[in-house]
Amino acid sequence: MPKVKVPRKSTSVDMTAMCDVAFLLLSFFILTTKFKSSDAVEVVTPTSVSTKPASDKNVVLVTMDKEGKAYFSIGDNNEEEKEKIINTISDQKQLQLTDAEKKNFIKSGSTVGVPFSMLKSYLQLNEEQAKKYKAPGIPLDSANNELTVWMAAANSAYTGSTMSLLVKGDNSAKYPTFKGVIDAFKKNEIFKFAMITDPEGIPAGTPLANKKEAGGKEE
């Protein structure tokens, strides 16, 4: 009886569909990825030993540079709060800001570092002009601490939610600037904030290192 030959089938696999799926996924991630905007103020933060990252939700950021200037900004994910804040400032200080000027405050990466008397003209600058502009900083004098007004507007805008207040100071920042920032917080009864620092490794053999190795949590 003759043997029946089983027909041999090709072992090759058509990868066309898989390649299509891979390129679709790649295109999706490229189009939906939101890149972090560059820092408006160059700051060299001091180092510290910590493993707890700063919050990225409901962020209110106060920045101090090495020249003693203070800047105020709101997280890019909080456009609604930004709109409330700039409307409050415009009404309270009678600045009569236009919709276009308000949008410049609300846009991604916006930072304010000017007194109220210069805010309207500053918000009229385009993106390239704003990058080259040398801001004088928000006044922090005891007789005219304008950061107090910004913080009051932020407190009001975040009513009903938890505001994550961050302070980012240059390693060479002057003490009077820091004192002015703290005074603005105190006048608004804000007593909790986090400092942004450059993390460094925990020295081996220290109680904190031993606690971390044992699975304990940092205070």
Does residue 35 fall inside a structural domain? no
Residue 185 has pLDDT above 90, yes or no: yes
Does residue 5 fall inside a structural domain? no
Q: Which residues contact 176 (CB under 8 A, 6 or more apart)?
A: 68, 140
Q: Which of 29-38, 98-107, 203-212 has the highest mean pLDDT?
A: 98-107
Confidence tier at 131 by pLDDT (50, 70, 90): confident
Does residue 127 fall inside a structural domain? yes
Does residue 41 fall inside a structural domain? no
- Number of domains the chain is built from: 1
pLDDT-wise least confident of 28-42, 87-101, 113-127: 28-42
Confidence tier at 187 by pLDDT (50, 70, 90): very high
Amino acid at 218: E
- CB of 139 closer than 8 Å to CB of 30: no
Does residue 149 fall inside a structural domain? yes
Segment holding 23, helix H or strand E = helix 16-32
Q: What is the Cα gyration radius of the chain?
A: 26
Residue in the structure block whose two tokens are 């570092």: 113
Helix, strand or coil, per DSSP, at residue 116: helix
Does residue 187 fall inside a structural domain? yes
Does residue 8 fall inside a structural domain? no
Does residue 158 fall inside a structural domain? yes
Domain limits for position 182: 47-199
pLDDT tens-digit series, residues 8-49: 665 666 666 676 677 677 676 666 665 445 555 555 554 555
CA distance 172 to 1: 96
What the block records as the tokens of 108 is 């991604």
